[in-house]
């Protein structure tokens, strides 16, 4: 039974043989180093950076809505502190704190406004931001042609 289940999970031999070679670390297929600066950012740092950004966004929105709670204005301030810094500098305030940044996969240029806006919208939808591939890139990274790296 174990052999049958194992072969079913791994797929037919012809499919296994046609796949790309096994990678040894996240980002290897992209030509990124295994560790250190320029390697794929760990999930924990990304999550912490996101948490810093949403707390900062709530505080900024709260400055304008006090004594009332900021409500959806937090989303507006979060979008601003996410899109503009990523578009022009490659990182949000939370990313700067955690030592990570966003880079384009296809070029050395800045991320740019269209890609940063797409990343923001897809992150707000949540599902694309939490589904990852073996390179440590989520759907919003893949759809925007970006990768999050260590500084």
3-state helix, strand and coil shares in percent for the chain, rounded to the nearest 5: 60, 10, 35
Q: Are 101 and 91 in contact (CB under 8 A)?
A: yes
Q: How confident is the model at residue 133 (pLDDT cuts 50, 70, 90)?
A: confident
The owner of tokens 């709260």 is 62
Nearest-CA neighbor of 88 among 68, 116, 67, 64? 116
Q: How confident is the model at residue 128 (pLDDT cuts 50, 70, 90)?
A: confident
Q: Are 103 and 90 in contact (CB under 8 A)?
A: yes
Q: Is 82 left (phi over 0), alpha (psi -120 to 50) or beta?
A: alpha
| Neighbour count for residue 61 (Cβ, 10 Å) | 21
What is the pLDDT, as a whole number, of residue 25?
A: 85
pLDDT tens per residue across span 35-56: 898 899 998 999 999 999 999 9
User: How far is Cα 43 from Cα 64, in angstroms, rounded to an integer?
Assistant: 32
Instruction: Kindly state the DSSP code that residue 107 receives in the 8-state scheme.
Output: -
What is the pLDDT, as a whole number, of residue 139?
A: 86
User: How far is Cα 97 from Cα 151, in angstroms, rounded to an integer?
Assistant: 11
pLDDT tens per residue across span 50-100: 999 999 999 999 999 999 988 899 999 999 999 999 999 999 999 999 999
pLDDT tens per residue across span 1-37: 444 434 434 444 444 444 656 778 887 887 788 889 8
Tokens coding 137? 């890139």
Nearest-CA neighbor of 149 among 56, 24, 30, 22? 30
**Is the model's pTM score more than 0.85?**
no
């Amino acid at each position: 039974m174990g052999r049958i289940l194992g072969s079913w999970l791994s797929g037919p031999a012809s499919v296994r043989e046609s796949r790309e070679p096994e990678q040894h670390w996240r980002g290897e297929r992209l030509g990124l180093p295994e560790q250190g600066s320029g390697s794929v950012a760990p999930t924990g740092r990304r999550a912490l950076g996101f948490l810093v950004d949403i707390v900062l966004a709530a505080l900024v929105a709260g400055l304008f809505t006090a004594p009332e709670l900021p409500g959806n204005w937090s989303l507006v301030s979060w979008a601003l502190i996410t899109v503009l810094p990523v578009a022009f500098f490659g990182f949000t305030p939370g990313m700067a704190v955690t030592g990570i940044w966003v880079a384009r996969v296809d070029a050395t240029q800045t991320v740019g406004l269209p890609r940063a806006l797409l990343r923001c919208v897809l992150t707000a939808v949540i599902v694309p931001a939490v589904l990852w591939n073996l390179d440590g890139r989520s759907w919003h990274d893949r759809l925007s042609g970006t990768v999050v790296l260590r500084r």
